[in-house]
Amino acid sequence: MQAQERFVMEWGRMSSSWGINRTMAQLHALLLITGQSLTMDEMIERLHISRGNASMNLRDLHEWGVISRYRHPGNRKDVYHAPDDIVQMFAHVVRERKRREIDPTVSAIRDCMAMVPESDQSQEAEILRNRLAVLLELFEIFDEIFKQIFASNESVKTMFESFSQPKSKTPEDSPG
């Protein structure tokens, strides 16, 4: 399937701009776009990567909560699967990145604010205080917007429909 391959390549190419390694992005893309349950061996073969690389990145993807791992009874091999709801998956990634990357930075900004003595009325200090405050507010706003958008499954659907022109939808298979 030529189109699948193309997508996997593109996803891998794009990943570096966002601080994600190529293999992880490609594994994710593969599961996402095929909708199938795949074994590590199948993915190793399709992506031409080593066993160790696959193992580590699949673990990371699992820790990120964007893929799941099953084992069919009577079969020793694990199979990996991406959830069918891509919108939810997206929301999940954003939530996770916030937790891991934004929240620590917000803490750090608060620390910075605490490091400027109240008594310091210099212009330098005033500017610093102001800019830190604006950044904090910005982060809060994005958090708020995100919460409103992805508050629940329902609202995502609503959003989804109100923002986009309805297009033809096709049914999908389910895990397993």
Residues found near DNA in the complex (CB under 7 A): 16, 21-24, 39-41, 48-53, 55-59, 71, 74, 76-78
Give the C-alpha separation, 24 to 58, whole Å. 7
Q: How far apart are CA 15 and CA 9, in angstroms?
A: 10
Q: Which residues pair with 68 in a beta bridge?
A: 81
First and final C-alpha spacing in the chain: 21
The answer to whether residue 17 forms part of the interface with its own copies (CB under 8 A) is yes
93 binds its own copies (CB under 8 A): no
112 binds its own copies (CB under 8 A): yes
Residue 41 touches which of DNA, its own copies, none (CB < 5 to 8 A by kind)? DNA
- Tokens found for residue 56: 């580590």
Q: How far is the CB of 82 from DNA (least distance, A)?
A: 16
Select the residue interacting with its own copies from 41, 75, 127, 158 (CB under 8 A). Answer: 127
Tokens 């405050």 belong to 133
CB of 98 to DNA, least distance (A): 20
